[in-house]
Structure 1
Amino acid sequence: MRNRVHSMIHGSVNTIMSLRANDDAEALKTRSQKCDLCRLLYKPYVDYCPTRPARFKLWRIGGVLKFDQYGTSANLSLVAGKEVAGLPDYLPIGLPNIPVSKSDLQVNLLRQWLTDCDKTHKCRTGKSGFMPTRVIEISGNIKAPKLRLRCWNNETKGSYVALSHQWGDPEKQRRLRTLSSNYKEHLDDIPFDGPKGLPGTFRDAVEITLRLGISYLWIDSLCIIQENDDDWMTESKRMEDVFSNAYFTIAASRAVGMDDGFLKSRPSRTCIPLKSSEGQYYICECIDDFHRDAEEAGLNKRGWVYQERALSTRSIFFTERQVYWECGYGVRCETLTWMKNSKASFLGDPNFPNAALEWNKSMRIRLYETIYKRYSKLALTRPSDRPAAIQGLESRLARTFHTNGKWGIFERFLYRSLLWRHVDGVYMQPIHDDPPGSTRKIPSWSWTAYIGEIDFIDAPLGETHWTEEVDSPFDSDQSAASTVTGRVLSATARRLMSRAGRFLQSSLMFDCAHHQDMYDNSKDSLQPEGLKCIVVGKRKGTSFPSRQDYYVILIIPGPGERRVYERVGVGIVDGRDVEMKEPGERVQIV
């Protein structure tokens, strides 16, 4: 005998639309051995019901079926065939099976997404006529494309596509780069086939670009002269323009490296047809999960890619399960599902981060803190790229906030942004190799000088009084001793007072493990010789000023000049543990 869920779903369409079935799990399991529909239902019961209740409820909410009425995960999809007329708004027309990779149907769907956005949205907000310094010019046909590197000039006009990809492990992935030694060759021809031809990911990007009728493609390793520090420095500063002005960005989410490719077959999707007098319906395995497939893919765990996505106005994500389109109006799936991405007002916003103009101060602070905390967790092949890989995004934020910004610090939020710290239990590591083309290292007061995940000290908004003991590093009259604008932080250093060799009520957080070992305040015999602090702010509202919490930056003498210090941490210091009666000493932190 069929169980109740089986009977209801095989009933009329009206029954399907009002489906809220309460049934026996053991009966469903038994039927799943012979019935395809019950097998399809039983799998998400196992996956999404960890407690395995003897009886369960199946809810239809919109176009999905769920085992949890209030859960965020869709377990099964309910879609209608295109011939069904008079559908309610909540039930979508969909594709039970996604198009074959590289098929005309798939390419036509991508073209339709682009056309719809061009005609009905206002996502393209870039500079009219902008072109990168170099692009790959594509001509010919897909069987024998002709490629060459083309330098920008007044005659270089048209739209270009940008590729966001992983370089991959050099020992496992073949890499193709433009170098000073082959630059002239690439101006004439970049081989598509053969041992010197394009690796898989680049070949797939060329195919998509050409089949969509676009003549130019931008790929970092080919359009920036690698191992040329001057060109790298120049072009890394243009990433904001490159991605924000692209016609769209290809996100090669499923490719682990240059040689991997992204136009590969995808896992098949299980669908059960349901016939009715109104037309064809389907109950399908739910594969629409943009967060899992795109946002949590390996590509989005790379540092450079974080700003590439935020700066792109429109992106097409080629993932393991299906292709997704993202613009300011949401996310579209190959299944024809449309979803309002919660991040559309954040990373997916084509005008990112203009929505912040309507936010209050607290929300703006949380915005940049969230961005920096997320970015600090991401991987970089070359750690010294840490400030450069977010420079375009940082510049965009600085303009939106009407302030100066560099190295993870904003002048408008100077005191708060200086109070970064490592996450609990995980110390940071200094980056020893300097960025290409630099003559001075990244300042120690910037978290971009270290490897590791960051957080920020919680100085409550409205309950913190900021001191005037720290000067902006962005002041135009800064000492000429600094050859890089904004590198030196001038401030008043104050002595920390320990009793019995330790601080009584202070919480000190050292950036690196070796500084923690050196100045560990749990050792009674240890005197923090040389350790001083800069008072950035203090907690309001305490009736005993000497016992106020002070928010401080910890510093030690740096090598060389007197009164030159380096940051080693931050802290929340009890008023009794910092000397505030004396005027302090003006120092520079580098």
Structure 2
Amino acid sequence: MPDAQLALPSQPRVDFDLLKTWTGRCEEHGQCLPDEASELERFKVIDCETRTVQRAPEKCSFVALSYLWGPQEDFAPQPLPAEQTGTIEDAITVTLRLGFRYLWIDRYCIEQTSIMDRTLQIKQMGQIYASAHLTIIAAAGTDPRHGLPGVSQPRQVDQAVTEQIGPVTLVQLKTSAASNFQRSMWATRAWTFQEGILSKRRLVFTDEAVLYMCQSDYHHDLAPGYSSGVNYELVALAEFIQCARLPREFRSSAGSSRFKEALRYVTAYSRRNMRMSSDALNAIIGILNYISNDRKEPIFHLWGVPLAPLTDVENYFDTTVKRYGGGTPKATPREDYFEFALNWIHPKPGRRRGGFPSWSPLGWEGPIEYPLQYMDIVIPKEFDIRIHPLKDAESRPYLRHELKHGGQIQYEGKDAISTKLEIISALVAPVQLLLEDNGDARITLKDGTTLDPEFETYWDEDLGGRDSNMKAEDTGRGEGEPWLVWQIGCKTVRKRRYHYVVLRLGNDGIYERVGFIIAWKGRSDAGLLDATWADPIPCDRTESLFIA
């Protein structure tokens, strides 16, 4: 019989008893326990019973809200208004119905008129979401007026449709709730990225359903038979799961190390959109600071570029030798080697973002990627980098001895650092860039030969575009070679891996990054053992190089 009606996919109203069942099971999951919130400074919460903003009490169990701000003029300043917009009002209701009293909402729990408080809370935002007992994710709508479907307003419930063709019954299923969540505006915004990733328990409200994701389980309130199944739901959430700190069974084998985890964060974050370019660091600083405090394997950053001591270097080289055959590895203390993730690429040219360094993905709009064989690029102790403070202070060594202190971006005060790096003892080669008629840039070496076509070149910006600051034919305005390629990393056992940053001289005598070159043949980054590597670009050593 055509158009036969099946059971409703979900009820118009949220079943809070069901939600309590989901959160109750989580109490048995050790990995779902929230972090300790006692170290949070100047931390405030909303008391949902008195509807006032106050300092968080000792051992506070609180709920956090992740939502879309929408136009800022839609929000009144503190204190909390008696009548709230739909999403915030519904979040207060959900908090109370689930047995909690305190709710954290950035708009009201951060003193928006205090630069000091905003700076502090932004820096510890990753810890805030990791310490929440539950995070409500408002994935429906495009602003806080939409509300949480099924709370104060009923959900729009569509009935499934079937059609009988002989003995076969065809059932029309809508797109999975997980897919709709991933396509929501919430999933595209930069600020919401770290909020979803670092939360331990996530209650996601979409127009169709409520999803629950903790560190162990996944649930939704769609009726049985209507959903496409948990496995398909998890496929739709693949990127979210890959980035989130979930148990091993939820992860891919590529995510074994904390450093690779940091690379996944930066890669996924680069795909997000933000209204204000100046927020590029603020919107991810919470997660970067959070992983830098990891007690087992801290990963630091410099302007959003992950860096860390290379863990177990001796074992790493031993494994590499055994894999490719060869002699005894040369043992080197691990503190002498570092990973510094400078070898990111733009699959497509992007646009320069002012106020951030060109050598950081934050300095550009547009998605980035990392070569798959990233672990083969390590930085030896001879690779010396000095950071130049914004104040007139003595430059300090960075990588080897001050990772903990220097790895954190300081927002204000005497320790604030600029975007300028001084590279000591760099391997560089002067080159010339010429634009072809089709707009492609051709790289010519010092001896007049054109760069090996097997070298893959990725441009950060369209050098032939109208918005380019300097065309490829320009000679530069500062002192020095107008165009350089800078060899980064060091070669490992047997295999040669050469990566190069393309640098352009600015009118202030400081270089900026505009491209990246990988010297391979046969795409050996994909793990092809029979792939070969192109001969390296002849480079000379320079004593000092400034990049900003």
In the superposition, the TM-score normalised over structure 2's length comes to 0.69
1:134 aligns with 2:44: yes
The 10-residue stretch of structure 1 (342-351 or 301-310) with the greater mean CA deviation from structure 2: 342-351
Paired position in structure 1 for 2:361: 447
Paired position in structure 1 for 2:421: 488
1:496-542 Cα shifts (integer Å, max 9, x gaps): 25258663315443322348868877x7x989942123211366789
| One-letter identity of the residue aligned with 2:541 | P
1:101 aligns with 2:45: no
| One-letter identity of the residue aligned with 1:328 | Q
1:234-264 Cα shifts (integer Å, max 9, x gaps): 1101112211111201100103102221234
1:267 aligns with 2:156: yes
Paired position in structure 2 for 1:503: 450
Paired position in structure 1 for 2:351: 429
1:530 aligns with 2:482: yes
Paired position in structure 2 for 1:175: 74
Gaps of 5+ in 2: 163-168, 311-337, 386-397, 407-413, 432-444, 521-533
Paired position in structure 1 for 2:324: none
2:45 and 2:55 in contact (8 A); partners too: yes
Distance 1:536 1:242, change over 3 A: same
Say which of 320, 323, 335 aligns to 2:210.
Answer: 323
* Matches of 1:471 and 1:192, distance apart in 2: 57
Say which of 253, 275, 289 aligns to 1:381.
Answer: 275
Paired position in structure 2 for 1:82: none
Distance 1:116 1:482, change over 3 A: closer
* Matches of 2:497 and 2:400, distance apart in 1: 29
User: Residue 119 of structure 2 aligns to a residue in which SS?
Assistant: helix
Distance 1:542 1:243, change over 3 A: closer
The alignment's C-alpha RMSD in Å is: 4.3
User: Residue 420 of structure 1 aligns to a residue in which SS?
Assistant: coil
1:294 and 1:319 in contact (8 A); partners too: yes
1:520-559 equivalent positions in 2, closer than 5 A: 529-537=481-489, 550-558=498-506
* Matches of 1:128 and 1:483, distance apart in 2: 27
1:93-492 equivalent positions in 2, closer than 5 A: 96-101=8-13, 106-119=15-28, 122-127=31-36, 133-139=43-49, 146-152=50-56, 155=57, 157-170=59-72, 175-178=74-77, 183=78, 186=79, 190-193=80-83, 198-263=84-149, 264-270=153-159, 286=173, 289-335=176-222, 339=230, 341=234, 347=240, 352=245, 355=248, 363-364=256-257, 366-398=260-292, 399=294, 401-406=297-302, 407-412=304-309, 417-424=341-348, 427-432=349-354, 441-457=355-371, 459=373, 470-471=383-384, 473-476=398-401, 483-484=416-417, 488-491=421-424, 492=426
Distance 1:115 1:555, change over 3 A: same
Distance 1:410 1:485, change over 3 A: farther
User: Residue 395 of structure 1 aligns to a residue in which SS?
Assistant: helix
2:427 and 2:541 in contact (8 A); partners too: no
Which structure would you say has the larger Rg?
1
| One-letter identity of the residue aligned with 1:584 | T
Gaps of 5+ in 1: 1-30, 41-94, 140-145, 274-281, 433-440
Sequence identity of aligned pairs in percent? 20
2:475 and 2:482 in contact (8 A); partners too: no
Distance 1:493 1:532, change over 3 A: farther
Cα deviation, residue 314, structure 1: 0.4
2:8 and 2:157 in contact (8 A); partners too: no
Cα deviation, residue 362, structure 1: 7.5
* Matches of 1:329 and 1:513, distance apart in 2: 44
1:198-230 Cα shifts (integer Å, max 9, x gaps): 111111111111222322111111111225432
Cα deviation, residue 123, structure 1: 1.1
1:166 and 1:257 in contact (8 A); partners too: yes
1:201 and 1:261 in contact (8 A); partners too: yes
* Matches of 1:466 and 1:299, distance apart in 2: 37
1:520-568 Cα shifts (integer Å, max 9, x gaps): 77x7x9899421232113667899xxxx7731122234555x6x53333
